[in-house]
Amino acid sequence: MRIALAQINVHVGNFAGNLEKMKAAVETAKSQGADIVCLPELATVGYPPRDFLEFEDFIDLAENGIKELAKFAQDIAIVVGSVSRNPVVEGKDLYNSVYFLAEGKVHFVQHKTLLPTYDIFDEYRYFEPASEWKVLEYKGKRIALTVCEDLWNVGNENPLYKICPMDEMMDQSPELILNVSASPFGFAHAEDRLHVLKTNVERYKLPLFYVNHVGAQTEILFDGGSVVLSPDGNVFQEMIYFQEEVQTFDLDEVIKGGQERQQEKDKMTLIHDGLVMGLQNYFGKLGFKKAILGLSGGIDSAVVAVLAARALGEDNVRVILMPSQFSSDHSVNDARQLAENLGVQYDIIPIESMYESFSTALEPHFWAKPFNIAEENIQARIRGMLLMAFSNKFGNIVLNTSNKSEMAVGYGTLYGDMCGGLSVIGDVYKTEVFELARFMNKDGEVIPENIITKPPSAELRPDQKDTDSLPEYDELDPILFQYIEKHQSPQDIIEMGYDEKLVRRILRLVNINEFKRHQTAPVLRVSDKAFGMGRRMPIVGKYLA
């Protein structure tokens, strides 16, 4: 028996497009001589469909997708994730299911048991868990069908769950495990995933075929990396990251095992490639081509410009340099040099005249109050307005260039530098932005060295430095990481050796700036805990604030 894994890039709600993708993958698998082809979780509708699942019409379209796809299950069986309706009145209306299509029709359906409801996941909002587990027999093989999280409670060791679907199926003596997944990317997640899958194989001594989504759905990245494991616990194959691919495997060879083929998992490579894919898919799935961003001469906008040029092509990226009276010459020169290195169109629009017009209009109302954050923000907002004007005039999407450190502590101007349709590096801490810049320069200088080495500054008042308001980033970032990713208490973090006053100040800044993060663009997620849908905080809260 030959089994194909098709890691494809579908699009939430694009039923016609997804059907075409699935059909093409089936054809490829057929041409590779596959008996069965596996497509990812909820492949008909895309993942995550979120509240679209509450529309009956949307579910009808998904059911129609399965009906249409089944017609192509001729001389090949198709394993594919989709929704199905719960025929019982009690419980949630839907199941998250894996369908087995053969001979032109639905041959078998198994529902998902373990419904992740944490971080970015809301599955229990929509789905009823399975309460029956059946092993399918096809062409003389007994197959255990599972959906994503179903394999994440191996032997009931995951404290979140009380049922282990594979344990339930083992008395029906399955001979192989298929798993259809939508397992989101995080730079450490591919490692975790392999570990979990290996633990399954060690427990059940069965070959395992695991197919994952690839591509971005707004902020959620899926890295692919579909896996075939041999019963000996070796990785028979790990498929490519961040690209669509169909590969077919001979079951006997997989069972024989003895080969270990893993990809390298370099953090900066993964983040870089993930962000490039995220950008490509955001634009591609919205039907846009062109991006625009402000280039300040600082490292954040530099890194975003490089990512954009690599994702969209230099002809589709436009940058605007918008110096004020506080901008240093080297900032403008560095930015210009970067634009030239990238070969992207750049324009220089000094903002003084607009700043003066606001100052003049506000002067009678500001009663000679001293220059403060109001005037700083006016500059940032003029820049945001100029970018949005280009966006509205020419159809370029504005890229947000805020990093995770400044988003965390609210070091940014709402409607100013925090504007834009997509936050490209909002899940990348400043210290990681430096790493990423070095990574980009590894085969030759793309980002001028001076951009990487000079002290970060917002340049909104004379001789301003980030360190006027914030600690050094190599001190700030670990504190943020302990709080945001690790959920440590102030006391815990202080006990790690950080200054108490600093820790309390930083954590307070994180919590009182929830209102700013609430109004920013979706953030491409590369870590275990990104700002946005995976981190849901009260705005008017008093905790540590």
State which of positions 25-54 bind a second copy (CB under 8 A).
46, 48-52, 54
Using CB under 8 A, which of the segments 139-147, 348-356, 401-409, 464-472 binds a second copy?
348-356
Task: Compute the Cα dihedral for 362, 364, 365, 371 and give only its sign.
Answer: positive
Closest separation between CB of residue 239 and a second copy, Å? 24
User: What is the b/e burial string over 128-167, where b = at least 16 CB atoms within 10 angstroms of the residue's CB?
Assistant: bbbeebebbebeebebbbbbbbbbbbbeeeeeebeebbbe
Question: Under rule CB under 8 A, which residues in 60-119 are in contact with a second copy?
Answer: 60-61, 89-93, 117-118
Closest separation between CB of residue 407 and a second copy, Å? 14
Using CB under 8 A, which of the segments 215-223, 260-268, 455-463, 467-475 binds a second copy?
215-223
Does residue 112 have an active-site annotation?
yes
User: Encoding tokens for residue 258?
Assistant: 């003895």
Does residue 265 have an active-site annotation?
no
Question: Under rule CB under 8 A, which residues in 309-338 are in contact with a second copy?
Answer: none
412 binds a second copy (CB under 8 A): no
DSSP 251-300: HHHHHH----------HHHHHHHHHHHHHHHHHHHHT---EEEE--SSHH
Closest separation between CB of residue 541 and a second copy, Å? 4
Closest separation between CB of residue 527 and a second copy, Å? 15
Question: Applying CB under 8 A, which of residues 102, 351, 470, 510 lies at the interface with a second copy?
Answer: 351
Of residues 353 and 453, the one with the C-beta less far from a second copy: 353
**Cα(432)–Cα(268) distance, rounded to whole angstroms?**
8
Closest separation between CB of residue 479 and a second copy, Å? 15
**Cα(494)–Cα(490) distance, rounded to whole angstroms?**
6
User: What is the b/e burial string over 251-288, where b = at least 16 CB atoms within 10 angstroms of the residue's CB?
Assistant: beebeebeeeeebebeebebbbbbbbbbbbbbbbbeee
Q: 41, 72 in Cβ contact below 8 A?
A: no
296 binds a second copy (CB under 8 A): no
Using CB under 8 A, which of the segments 27-35, 158-166, 205-213, 293-301 binds a second copy?
158-166
162 binds a second copy (CB under 8 A): yes
441 binds a second copy (CB under 8 A): no
414 binds a second copy (CB under 8 A): yes
Contacts (Cβ under 8 Å, ≥6 apart) of 92: 86, 124, 126, 127, 128
Of residues 178 and 354, the one with the C-beta less far from a second copy: 354
The torsion region of residue 216 among left (phi > 0), alpha (psi -120 to 50) and beta comes to beta
Closest separation between CB of residue 137 and a second copy, Å? 31
Closest separation between CB of residue 509 and a second copy, Å? 15
Using CB under 8 A, which of the segments 173-181, 213-221, 291-299, 328-336 binds a second copy?
213-221
DSSP 13-82: T-HHHHHHHHHHHHHHHHHTT-SEEE--TTTTT-S--GGGGG-HHHHHHHHHHHHHHHTT-SSSEEEEEE
Question: Applying CB under 8 A, which of residues 95, 133, 152, 161 lies at the interface with a second copy?
Answer: 161
Question: Applying CB under 8 A, which of residues 14, 74, 269, 441 lies at the interface with a second copy?
Answer: 14
Of residues 286 and 468, the one with the C-beta less far from a second copy: 286
Of residues 53 and 73, the one with the C-beta less far from a second copy: 53
Using CB under 8 A, which of the segments 260-268, 307-315, 335-343, 537-545 binds a second copy?
537-545
**Cα(205)–Cα(100) distance, rounded to whole angstroms?**
23
Which of these, 465, 469, 459, lies nearest to 326 by C-alpha position? 459
Strands (E), 288-421: 291-294, 317-321, 345-348, 397-400
Q: 517, 404 in Cβ contact below 8 A?
A: no
Q: 320, 294 in Cβ contact below 8 A?
A: yes
Of residues 324 and 431, the one with the C-beta less far from a second copy: 324
Closest separation between CB of residue 381 and a second copy, Å? 5
Of residues 163 and 240, the one with the C-beta less far from a second copy: 163
Q: 459, 331 in Cβ contact below 8 A?
A: yes
Closest separation between CB of residue 106 and a second copy, Å? 23
Question: Applying CB under 8 A, which of residues 218, 247, 457, 513 lies at the interface with a second copy?
Answer: 218
372 binds a second copy (CB under 8 A): yes
Give the SS3 label for residue 176. Answer: strand
Kind and range of the H or E run holding 138: strand 136-138
Number of residues that bind a second copy (CB under 8 A): 99
Active-site residue identified among 38, 148, 164, 419: 148
Does residue 164 have an active-site annotation?
no
496 binds a second copy (CB under 8 A): no
Active-site annotation, residues: 41, 112, 148
